[in-house]
Amino acid sequence: MKYSAKGASPQLFVEWLAKANEDWVPSYRDLQNPEVGEVRRALLVEQEFVCCYCGRALRDDQSDSHIDHFRPQKIYNGKGKADLTLSYKNFVASCGPPNRSGRPSTCGDAKGNQFDEAAHVEPWDPQCEQRFLYGSSGEIRASIDGDAGAETMIKILKLHEKSLVLERRALLAAFEADIAVGAITVGNVATEIQRLRAATAGRRIGFSHVAARYLETEFG
């Protein structure tokens, strides 16, 4: 999971919500363009154009991403739980769904209505990345055995799905090669990690947080 600090709600979305009156109560189903486009754009910007769950790079045109309710709207709809259906703080940009990307179901699409309030990891938690480890073969696991939150997120987001494993493996192979030839060493690894966690023109490299965590583990 990639850390993504939550930003402010887009002004157009705030103004749309403010139109609520006795005759009209806004619902997520009502959220259409231009407001929904502004929300999706804001999410991509604050996540630096990568999926907050797996870290895949996302396109400007929003064709390979969707808005995911981190806490599912079917559960957190005001009927026994807080109503988060139109809470920007509960929105994230997730890769997929598969019918747009051609990939197997992962991340927000795989999560669906699964959620455990007692065992989860929030992508806006500054320590969220530290709760996961990645191996050179592309595998993912919880940093600490028994971390129910990390283990649950891996399972419900299908972060161990084969396509993700292969994409991570391909990326990490390049870093393994750099380590082998001495291009990445104890002396410069901190700079390399800092580079991976920095955005260029507001964008992050796909799976850059994975590479950063891998290097932290290798040189830890």
Q: What is the pLDDT of residues 13-29, one digit of tens each?
A: 999 999 999 999 999 99
pLDDT bucket at 97, cuts 50 / 70 / 90: confident
pLDDT bucket at 96, cuts 50 / 70 / 90: confident
- Look up the pTM and report it: 0.94
pLDDT bucket at 100, cuts 50 / 70 / 90: low
Calpha distance 154→114 (Å, rounded): 12
Which of 168 and 97 is assigned the larger pLDDT?
A: 168
- Residue 99: is its pLDDT beyond 80? no
What is the predicted pLDDT for the residue at 180?
A: 97
Mean pLDDT over all residues of the chain?
A: 96
- Residue 168: is its pLDDT beyond 90? yes
Can you read off the two tokens belonging to residue 36? 């929904």
- Residue 102: is its pLDDT beyond 80? no
- Scan for tokens 């129910």, then name that residue: 148
- Scan for tokens 């957190």, then name that residue: 76
Q: What is the largest CA-CA distance in the chain?
A: 68
- Residue 210: is its pLDDT beyond 80? yes
CA angle 48, 159, 114 (to 5 degrees): 95
Q: Are the CB atoms for 48 and 34 separated by under 8 Å? A: no
